[in-house]
Amino acid sequence: MSTLKGAAIIGQSGGPTSVINASAYGAIKTALDSDVITHVYGAENGIKGVLDDKLIDMAMEDPEELALMKFTPSSALGSCRYKLKDPDVDDTDYRRILEIFKKYDVRYFFYNGGNDSMDTCNKISKYCLKNGYECRVMGIPKTIDNDLAVTDHCPGFASAAKYIATSVMEVYRDARVYDTGMITVIEIMGRNAGWLTAASALAAYKGNGPDLIYLPEVDFDLDSFIEKVKAIYAKTGKVIVCVSEGIHDKDGKYIAEYGSDLASQRDSFGHAQMGGLASYLANVVKEATGAKVRGIELSLLQRCAAHSASQTDIDESFMSGKCAVEYAVAGITDKMVGLKRTYDENGKYVCEPELVDLSVVANTEKKVPLEWLNETRDGMNEKFIEYCLPLIQGETQMVKEDGLPRFANLKKVRATV
Amino acid sequence: MSTLKGAAIIGQSGGPTSVINASAYGAIKTALDSDVITHVYGAENGIKGVLDDKLIDMAMEDPEELALMKFTPSSALGSCRYKLKDPDVDDTDYRRILEIFKKYDVRYFFYNGGNDSMDTCNKISKYCLKNGYECRVMGIPKTIDNDLAVTDHCPGFASAAKYIATSVMEVYRDARVYDTGMITVIEIMGRNAGWLTAASALAAYKGNGPDLIYLPEVDFDLDSFIEKVKAIYAKTGKVIVCVSEGIHDKDGKYIAEYGSDLASQRDSFGHAQMGGLASYLANVVKEATGAKVRGIELSLLQRCAAHSASQTDIDESFMSGKCAVEYAVAGITDKMVGLKRTYDENGKYVCEPELVDLSVVANTEKKVPLEWLNETRDGMNEKFIEYCLPLIQGETQMVKEDGLPRFANLKKVRATV
């Protein structure tokens, strides 16, 4: 394998997580330390930064400040939701990317994101190859949604899962404080895959969890839901329900739309956002039971709660970034660095990097296996707990200052050639 | 001062906090260790447990499990929102309370709560005195609202403040991830006093905070709010606003009602809860700017987030419970154990217990001083930061198990005589 000297670009794309910067830091630090990588550039707002020639010279950052990226939520380099066109239809963007790659002598491209980002990686790599420009392209996974194919799990999922399980445990205690009835509906992110909502089962595993869990993997029936809530309420006076934002009925209609249908007919703003799924379902069960209800939407909090990150997740995120650079320098290209689960001789969970073809990850979405749900499909079984529990271990070593998080503040010096 | 032998009751009342159990534990442990206190009873669901003769024998609990109360959110003994009548109008409840006190030889009564709970303490104490029954009554403060008179601050406030500041810092980062516009409205608890919303200024102090802060201490003007948001949005493309749930216009009408007016005219459920203040204001500014918006309600999370508690708050909460018992055993009665702020010779913050008359605390509500707001009254100044910062110091020593909180699980053995 020949040594390839040249610059590296690292970009971040898609919705942020608590630990995406740990991955970026793994890649940046390893690239800065490399003998063959001549310059390390951060792309401002992902591929848009490449197209706009907005690159950050990462060597200009204070190393101690850079190290704080491990504990800094959201995408420190900025992100985008920019989808590249099919190059056979319109290659404008690709020609521009190649132009920038040549301008900065970029021979390494690392992209940190979900399915769409892996698709971007894949297309760029193919285009460079077709045009005889040698550039090694590696994907670094991230998504709280945990829906990437092949990889056992995705960096970012576990920290969100830990925050969700912890918060549900706390709300469980809070919702039991009075000797009067109470029904709480908690809305959790996940449009098509219910991994995060499933994580609320960890709270149940610790005896402080939801009575009912609904994932988008299973068609949601409003009548059956109401009957189940009524039965639990009649028995215990307290009900906690965790629902994925993406739950839908058998015709594929989102339950959140039931609420916004009501609101949009009548609301002068007419926005589906008003009300929200948790409020809608809380009001439905209030109507049915007369109980005091509370709808809680975990909203952005669940994807940026770095203060409650899993140290396992931070370490694995860092590793995926680091390995992406090491593999690329060693000659590998067109792969995503997935995470493989193994167990050591004592049965202890171990995570290893695993190379996954970009083309496989780009176009698939991994859902929660139905055999990890309970028989009535309103909760998870021990298979899911076994899967999830090792991932959330370890408390973040986040640096605090004045009792508050000390996040990385990058200088972001624009690169020039 | 004569030694008073007899049993003690400890009860919790009102909305819970992350650290109210630290106070209860301070009282319970000190009472269990006392030579003169013969039995330690926990009242199930506050004063209702006394009226219903539902007392828990605290000596039957495993000491290690009891110690976990320091890190367990919500009211471990159960709470209530029961207001005692004026004894001159109807003394039924008081006669019953006295009957239970005599049955169990209760000579010490500790009540852990806010204004209403101090009122309860006060009335019970006066009634016992009038009827010649010697019982020492002490109040132990708690409230995330921080609105009790005389005491410098209230146990429970700082942990909620720390959670709010941390979460706002994280959302600040998240809301800046794309290079497109974004306006975020965060709704924080506080009906009449804006202490918790003011705590979001700590995030601004650390450079990751809201652009605008609105407290119920100042009349809210919707038009002025829209103009300010538009101006910031035009300049930076990113706006974060923190609002108290209790903000109201100059006529005293809650802004939250503006939204529910819209909803209730049209919504078949007609519940004010649907939509919420954050969603309403987010939609108002979306209308005005065309920006992408997000309304976030911190809801119950902010009052039960024990995983993010301030260790200073935990320690002070414990101290207030402990001192209540020590003072009562020493002969003091009819007081609440407030917290007094002093500074040592190095200018370091020190907190000391301070006795406050129950009658004073019972009927007053402490608001945020207007001179701690900025000139435009849409943010806080350095006086508030100076006040708040020492209170949120120290990370919780919460016990974890499987990467999740290990809360106290009490046996709650019913007491008999």
pLDDT digits (tens, 9 = 90+) for A46-97: 999 999 999 999 999 999 999 999 999 999 999 999 999 999 999 999 999 9
Helix (H) or strand (E) holding A336: strand A335-343
Structure tokens at B120: 């309860």
Yes or no, beta carbons of B177 and A16 under 8 Å apart: yes
- Determine the pLDDT at residue B260: 67
Q: How many residues does chain B have?
A: 417
For the stretch B273-287, pLDDT in tens is 335 899 999 999 999
Any idea what the Cα angle at residue A88 is, between residues A84 and A90, rounded to 5°?
55
CA distances from residue B404 to A208, B209, B401 in whole angstroms, order as listed: 11, 28, 5
- Three-state SS annotation for chain B: CCCCCEEEEEEECCCCCCCHHHHHHHHHHHHHHCCCEEEEEEECCCHHHHHCCCEEEHHHCCHHHHHHHHHCCCCCCCCCCCCCCCCCCCCHHHHHHHHHHHHCCEEEEEEEECHHHHHHHHHHHHHHHHCCCCCEEEEEECCCCCCCCCCCCCCCHHHHHHHHHHHHHHHHHHCCCCCCCEEEEEEECCCCCCHHHHCCHHHHHCCCCCCEEECCCCCCCHHHHHHHHHHHHHHHCEEEEEEECCCECCCCCEHHHHHHHHHHHHCCCCCCCCCHHHHHHHHHHHHHHCCCEEEEECCCHHHHCHHHCEHHHHHHHHHHHHHHHHHHHCCCCCEEEEEEEEECCCCCEEEEEEEEEHHHHHCCCCCCCHHHECCCCCCECHHHHHHHHHHHCCECCCCEECCEECCCCCCCCECCC
CA atoms within 13 A on the CB side of A47: 24
Of the candidates B293, B308, B403, the beta carbon closest to that of A310 is on B403
- Amino acid at the residue B96: R
Pick the catalytic residue: A93, A119, A145, A211? A145
Q: Name the DSSP letter for residue A12.
A: E
B370 CB-near residues (< 8 Å, 6+ apart): B217, B218, B377
With CA atoms as reference, report the closest residue to A53 among A38, A39, A41: A41
Please state which of the ranges A177-181, B83-87, B268-272, B289-293 shows the lowest mean pLDDT: B268-272
- Amino acid at the residue A287: E
* Phi/psi at A185 (5° precision): -115, 125
Contact list in A for residue B169 (CB cut-off 8 A) is: 404-405, 407
Contact predicate A12/A75, CB 8 Å: yes
Average of per-residue pLDDT across B344-361: 96
With CA atoms as reference, report the closest residue to B410 among B16, B19, B58: B58
Instruction: List, for chain A, all residue ranges whose pLDDT scores fall below the cut of 50.
Output: 264-274
> Over 80: is that where the pLDDT of B417 sits?
yes
Calpha distance B241→B213 (Å, rounded): 6
Contact predicate A194/A253, CB 8 Å: no
Calpha distance B129→B123 (Å, rounded): 10
Helix (H) or strand (E) holding A277: helix A276-289
Calpha distance B309→B318 (Å, rounded): 13
Shortest Cα distance, chain A CAs vs residue B295, angstroms? 9
Structure tokens at B267: 């919504």
Task: Concatenate the DSSP letters of all residues of A43-73 into one string.
Answer: ETTTHHHHHTT-EEEGGGS-HHHHHGGGG--
Helix axes of B20-33 and B311-329: crossing angle, nearest 10 degrees: 40
Contact list in B for residue A293 (CB cut-off 8 A) is: 273
A289 CB-near residues (< 8 Å, 6+ apart): A181, A183, A229, A230, A233
Average of per-residue pLDDT across B21-29: 98
Contact predicate B248/B255, CB 8 Å: yes
For the stretch B195-229, pLDDT in tens is 999 999 999 999 999 999 999 999 999 999 999 99
> Over 80: is that where the pLDDT of B271 sits?
no
**pTM of the model as a whole:** 0.96
B301 CB-near residues (< 8 Å, 6+ apart): A167, A170, A171, A296, A301, B163
Calpha distance B139→B320 (Å, rounded): 9
Calpha distance B353→B139 (Å, rounded): 12
Calpha distance B76→B5 (Å, rounded): 26
Yes or no, beta carbons of A404 and B394 under 8 Å apart: no
Among A54, A176, A177, most B C-beta atoms within 10 A, so best to mutate, is A177
Of the candidates A167, A283, A402, the beta carbon closest to that of B389 is on A402
Contact list in B for residue A16 (CB cut-off 8 A) is: 173-174, 177
A89: burial class by Cβ within 10 Å (0-12, 13-18, 19+)? Answer: exposed
Contact list in B for residue A394 (CB cut-off 8 A) is: 403
With CA atoms as reference, report the closest residue to A87 among A51, A129, A145, A127: A127
Q: Name the DSSP letter for residue A308.
A: G
Structure tokens at A64: 């101690």
For chain B, domains (ranges, CATH) are 6-143+306-363+395-405 (3.40.50.450), 157-304 (3.40.50.460)
Among A69, A183, A274, most B C-beta atoms within 10 A, so best to mutate, is A274
Shortest Cα distance, chain B CAs vs residue A262, angstroms? 6
A250-282 burial: b if 16+ Cβ within 10 Å, else e: eeeebbbebbbebbbeebebebbbbbbbbbbbb
What is the separation of C-alpha B177 from the centre of its chain, rounded to a whole number of angstroms? 33
Give the residue numbers of B annotated as catalytic, written as ranges. Answer: 145
Any idea what the Cα angle at residue B205 is, between residues B202 and B208, rounded to 5°?
90
Shortest Cα distance, chain B CAs vs residue A4, angstroms? 32
> Over 50: is that where the pLDDT of B265 sits?
no
